[in-house]
Structure 1
Amino acid sequence: MIRNVVIVGGGTAGWMTASYLKAAFADRVDVTLIESAQVSRIGVGEATFSTLRHFFDYLGLDEADWLPRCAGGYKLGIRFENWNRPGEHFYHPFERLRMVDGFSLADWWLALGDRSRPFDEACFLTRALCEAKRSPRMRDGSLFTTGLDGRLGRSTLDEQRAQFPYAYHFDADEVARYLAGYAKARGVRHVVDNVAHVARDERGWIGHVVTDEHGTVAGDLFVDCTGFRGLLINQTLGTPFESFQDVLPNNRAVAVRVPREDATEMSPYTTATAMSAGWMWTIPLFRRNGNGYVYSDEFISPEEAEKELRAAVAPGRDDVPANHIRMRIGRNRESWVHNCVAIGLSSAFVEPLESTGIFFIQHGIEQLVRYFPDERWDPVQIAAYNDRVGRAVDGVKEFLVLHYRAAQREDTPYWKEAKRRRLTDGLAERLELAGSRLLDEETIYPYYHGFESYSWNAMNLGLGHVPTSPAPALRHLDPARAHAEFARLRAEGEALVAALPSCYEYLAGLND
């Protein structure tokens, strides 16, 4: 029986893993986490998927308790600015499209010819709430949409059925600290030390690690949460890393944390703003913004990128330090090798454009619990884990490549090159199909990767990749119910904007 799990590396990945394993297995599995006091944390994973709610519910943690302790905020979607033309924006929301007579509102928007309102404004509630900077919760704490509130219990990604309408922004370091307290209170052994040596047994598997001050730490299963270093999975076991830079060239980022002049001006969305050689994130936390420029050093130097970022978000603020980050874009050929599983940046990273870093951590942990080994180390189970984790990453890769290929911007060498880069397998066919009709669950990337067809269509339509004509069947259907649904959605948006508190106002109540 596998009883001893050793996690090497802390941060968000390490403490999420330790917490979840304890929530799942309690005292039936012993967990030790080793982290160095000298290793700095990347901290770019401050925006998340709406699926993260399942993680905290599984642990039995109340949002009203943990969110204010982590400088947290709400995220209703992503606002894409300047990806087509300067001054234009659209939203990718956490909101499924409504259906009328078997067709989505996006189909009806194409068919009815009313282009006076943007696609996302006509077809989603989210844009109205984002533009008004509204909280997704009423003053009494209830969710703005019915039927989705309350504890989900021990639900997982595989059990997800409804689209929860928001995700979170938070300080990733504070989340790691919060989860460390949770995990240690449930018996996780915390070793603060440097790993000096990783020993392999006669099979070539990891036998134990040797630390500077605590000596040997042995285990049955080792989890690599050492970030881009990949201390166990890559440096020790030699697992090949497959780069995605042939299709996703961004390999660096520079980040700054900027206090908001008016703290109350808190947006409930992440902003992704196109820049000369990449894009910039803006992540509003409770009293400050996190900003960063993700770029390719083929087209701009780190010094030039920092200058461009500061000019955009912190002019005259030379006192605000900048953090330069080298990113390893791609994934391991296998994230589970022998008795070692890589979670987080040591497994895969596909740049932060759609906030997938923490999603990959959550997905990897859940799959580890699902395929947790016994003394047989069944290779079929391990292969199933690697297939699921690898396919999820590959699907996100394809979805991100779509962003760059479908964007209308071509005003710099970087954006011109984005149109010439190789398309991933399957994406060329999907883009060609999207020129004729909207995609559905049968025609997007076929394996689970966290994004549904509404996301693919929201990005295609928002980026101007619009089908040449609507579905012919709609010419034979009575549009009255569709017109009524568009009107109903608009009225709901206006009523919610009037009823909901601002994002800052609601969170201020939690932080009192």
Structure 2
Amino acid sequence: MAKNDAGSAVAIVIVGGGTAGWLTAAFLQNQLPHTLNRPVEITVIEAEDIPTVGVGEATIPSIRQTLAACGIEEHIFLKTCGATFKHGIEFINWRDDPQLCGANNYFHPFGDQIMVAGKDATWQWLQLPLEQRAPYAEQFSVQAEIARRGQAPKNFSDKPYDGALAYAYHLDAGKLATYLKTHSKARGVCHKVQKVIQIDRDFEDISALHLDNKERIEADLFVDCTGFAARLINSDQQNIFNSLSDTLFVDRAIVTRVPNDSLADVIGYTKSTAQSAGWIWDIALQDRRGVGHVYSSRYIDDDAAKAELAAYVQQPVDMLESRRLDMRIGYHDQQWRGNSVAIGLSSGFLEPLESTGIYLIEMANWAMLEFVPRYLGGSQPQSSYNRILHNHYNNIADFLKMHYCLSNRRDTAFWRDNCDPKTIPPSLQANLATWKTAVPSIYDFHSTTQCFSATNYKFVLYGMGWGKAAIPPSEPSAPIQAMMGELAQRRSKLRDFVLRDTVANSSYFEALQKL
């Protein structure tokens, strides 16, 4: 039972470290005491021999608000974690088979699309003949151009977590976990390097944990960051796992590292290059590139997947240093069960195509900040919390699937099967049916707590070539041309403003290294 004595300290025990455990510790330690107006005692228990998985090393813009809420200084974070800026993702060879149509790409940028007098000009763009349409991201955003020019999204003197453009980071997940551990311990988080050998349950609640040093641990709230094992949230194997493997096929990754010769090699966006049965991410940190092949073991074996990765990084396959990761795609039904909450891989996992792994950790923490005070006050907010996390997972799953099912590639069974309607969630099918004659809108989505908005859908939808069919004009040509002309003027002004207020990536990180 939760403590209701307003004067007593709240005891929270986090089992498992890594990014999930230590980001949660840093966030709750810095935020929860102010929300509760009472002391909070946080303990992280982690076994010494559990490695950090670190499937993805990319984030989305929400990470800036979360790091600020942890009390972390941006310059220190960037320098300590080898982090770089991220403008968005370039998708290469997703739209068409390069063997038939040549290399093809599009950009999914961060930030809002450019509007004209507060109006979305997408419908007018769709009514232009194909030969008159600029690529969607290049028409409605400046971020792809700025990213490809090698510009950072800000100046070195800008305020922390602020800049001329929206941005996120590429980072070293191992360094991030270590930094968060040091940061949290310095602010009073207790750290126990022990193994949990027994979990006592009282119906849905955990009554105590037993450690291998014979210590018995009680708490008001337990946080499960034990990875795919989900040792707390599913210790009795009664927590249903909602598998999404029939929608999202990839279930393995082979990862490697490639040195950067200099800061001039740093690019400020993720590259995602489609392969025969998956895709390869390419992320530039300050001192290296993180490269990984995400694939489906149903369609390609490990040796062939490794060969594709070796070809991408231009190394002999027998010389490639790599490791394989297995992924369980889906999420637990009860994200918050009794007095335990799952965060990170114990909660669930969706492939890192749009860099949502750390995002889901963030969203769990922000939701806990809202619901833990209610729980400690005697309410039972578990069902509300679970519904919100379900919405996050399902919204992301729809968005990820759209990348696959809109592809024109038919060169392998992987790509053909991804277009099978039986593998497409009904919610996405309904939206795609609507978008044949309409533009994605906020009214197509039913949750205010979701990762991907109508704007994100438009950048991917039209980047993938949706809307190529002729659309009968619904207004005269002159107003369309006038709106597109004004859009071009607004884009030009924004581009000039951004170029004045940003510096090259290399210049930014050279200044950072002098701190």
TM-score of the aligned structures, taking structure 1 as reference length: 0.91
Deviation >6 Å, runs of 4+: none
Whole-angstrom CA distance in 2 between matches of 1:194 and 1:260: 38
Superimposed CA distance per residue, residues 313-361 of structure 1 (whole angstroms, 9 cap, x where no aligned partner): 1413755521111101001111001111000111121110110010000
Whole-angstrom CA distance in 2 between matches of 1:387 and 1:116: 41
Superimposed CA distance per residue, residues 353-385 of structure 1 (whole angstroms, 9 cap, x where no aligned partner): 110010000000111110005456523x11111
Q: Return the offset for 1:229.
A: 0.9
Higher alpha-carbon deviation: 96-105 or 278-287: 96-105
Whole-angstrom CA distance in 2 between matches of 1:19 and 1:34: 14
Check 1:216–1:402 CA distance in 2 against 1; reply closer, same or farther (3 A cut): same
Residue 119 of structure 2 corresponds to which residue in structure 1? 103
SS of the residue 2:353 aligns to: coil
Whole-angstrom CA distance in 2 between matches of 1:493 and 1:136: 12
Q: After the TM superposition, which residues 176-215 of structure 1 pair with which residues of structure 2 at under 5 Å, given as runs? A: 176-201=177-202, 203-213=203-213, 215=215
The one-letter code matched in structure 2 to 1:11 is G
The one-letter code matched in structure 2 to 1:5 is I
Q: After the TM superposition, which residues 24-35 of structure 1 pair with which residues of structure 2 at under 5 Å, given as runs? A: 24-26=31-33, 28-35=39-46
Q: After the TM superposition, which residues 9-408 of structure 1 pair with which residues of structure 2 at under 5 Å, given as runs? A: 9-26=16-33, 28-85=39-96, 86=98, 87-101=103-117, 103-113=119-129, 115=132, 117-138=134-155, 140-142=156-158, 165-201=166-202, 203-213=203-213, 215-236=215-236, 238-316=238-316, 318=318, 320-372=320-372, 373-374=374-375, 377-379=378-380, 381-408=381-408
Check 1:164–1:360 CA distance in 2 against 1; reply closer, same or farther (3 A cut): farther
Superimposed CA distance per residue, residues 455-507 of structure 1 (whole angstroms, 9 cap, x where no aligned partner): 10111101111164277247584643530331341354367458743212211
Whole-angstrom CA distance in 1 between matches of 2:500 and 2:117: 30
Whole-angstrom CA distance in 2 between matches of 1:317 and 1:62: 41
Higher alpha-carbon deviation: 469-478 or 287-296: 469-478
Residue 7 of structure 2 corresponds to which residue in structure 1? none
SS of the residue 2:442 aligns to: coil
Number of aligned residues:
494
Unaligned runs of 5+ in 2: 5-9
Superimposed CA distance per residue, residues 183-225 of structure 1 (whole angstroms, 9 cap, x where no aligned partner): 1112111001111111223x35211111112622221211000
Check 1:471–1:226 CA distance in 2 against 1; reply closer, same or farther (3 A cut): farther
Higher alpha-carbon deviation: 482-491 or 269-278: 482-491
SS of the residue 1:312 aligns to: helix
Residue 504 of structure 1 corresponds to which residue in structure 2? 506
The one-letter code matched in structure 2 to 1:108 is Q
2:456 paired with 1:455: yes
Contact 2:391–2:447 (Cα < 8 Å) also in 1? no
Contact 1:253–1:294 (Cα < 8 Å) also in 2? yes
Higher alpha-carbon deviation: 106-115 or 274-283: 106-115
Q: Return the offset for 1:429.
A: 1.3
Higher alpha-carbon deviation: 366-375 or 324-333: 366-375
Superimposed CA distance per residue, residues 94-148 of structure 1 (whole angstroms, 9 cap, x where no aligned partner): 121122255324333223446353221122101111221211113x433xxxxxx
Superimposed CA distance per residue, residues 219-273 of structure 1 (whole angstroms, 9 cap, x where no aligned partner): 1211000111111112346211110011111111111111134542211001111
Residue 431 of structure 2 corresponds to which residue in structure 1? 430
Contact 1:404–1:418 (Cα < 8 Å) also in 2? yes
Check 1:265–1:42 CA distance in 2 against 1; reply closer, same or farther (3 A cut): same
The one-letter code matched in structure 2 to 1:268 is G
The one-letter code matched in structure 2 to 1:17 is T
SS of the residue 1:353 aligns to: helix
Superimposed CA distance per residue, residues 159-181 of structure 1 (whole angstroms, 9 cap, x where no aligned partner): xxx99610011011111111111
The one-letter code matched in structure 2 to 1:490 is S
SS of the residue 1:235 aligns to: coil
The one-letter code matched in structure 2 to 1:192 is V
Superimposed CA distance per residue, residues 371-409 of structure 1 (whole angstroms, 9 cap, x where no aligned partner): 005456523x11111111111111111111111111222
Contact 1:9–1:35 (Cα < 8 Å) also in 2? yes
Whole-angstrom CA distance in 2 between matches of 1:221 and 1:364: 14
SS of the residue 2:234 aligns to: helix
Q: Return the offset for 1:508.
A: 2.2
Check 1:470–1:209 CA distance in 2 against 1; reply closer, same or farther (3 A cut): farther
Whole-angstrom CA distance in 2 between matches of 1:25 and 1:4: 11
Contact 1:48–1:167 (Cα < 8 Å) also in 2? yes
SS of the residue 1:472 aligns to: coil
Residue 13 of structure 2 corresponds to which residue in structure 1? 6
Check 1:93–1:343 CA distance in 2 against 1; reply closer, same or farther (3 A cut): same
Whole-angstrom CA distance in 2 between matches of 1:490 and 1:375: 53
Higher alpha-carbon deviation: 471-480 or 22-31: 471-480
Whole-angstrom CA distance in 2 between matches of 1:467 and 1:436: 12
Q: Return the offset for 1:301.
A: 0.8
The one-letter code matched in structure 2 to 1:50 is P
Q: Return the offset for 1:35.
A: 0.6
